[in-house]
Amino acid sequence: QGCSQKYIVKNYFYYYLFKFSAALGEEIFYITFLPFTYWNIDHSVSRRMIIVWSIVMYIGQVSKDILKWPRPLSPPVVKLEMRTNAEYGMPSTHAMAATAISFSFFIATMNQYKYPLELGLVAAFVFSTLVCLSRLYTGMHTVLDVIGGALISAVLLVLLYPAWDTIDHLLLTSPFCPLFSIVVPLVLCYNYPKLDYYSPTRGDTTTILGAAAGATVGFWLNNQYAAPAYSGRGVHPGFPVSTSTMVFVLARFLVGIVVVLLTRWLMKSVVLGMLGRRYKFPLGDLEARRRLEVEVPYKFVTYSCVGFTATVIVPLLHQLLGLM
d(CA 154, CA 66): 20
d(CA 282, CA 302): 19
Helix (H, G, I), strand (E, B) or coil at 192: coil
d(CA 300, CA 176): 20
Helix (H, G, I), strand (E, B) or coil at 257: helix
Secondary element (H or E) of residue 225: helix 201-225
Query: Which residues are part of the catalytic machinery?
Result: 94, 141
Distance of CA 163 to CAs 8, 51, 169, 170, Å? 49, 11, 10, 11
C-alpha 172, offset from chain centre: 21
Nearest to 190 by CA among 268, 300, 80, 40: 300
Return the CA Rg of the chain: 20
Distance of CA 21 to CAs 115, 311, 318, Å? 25, 27, 31
Question: DSSP letters along 144-156, please?
Answer: HHHHHHHHHHHHH
d(CA 75, CA 53): 33
d(CA 269, CA 74): 36
C-alpha 300, offset from chain centre: 14
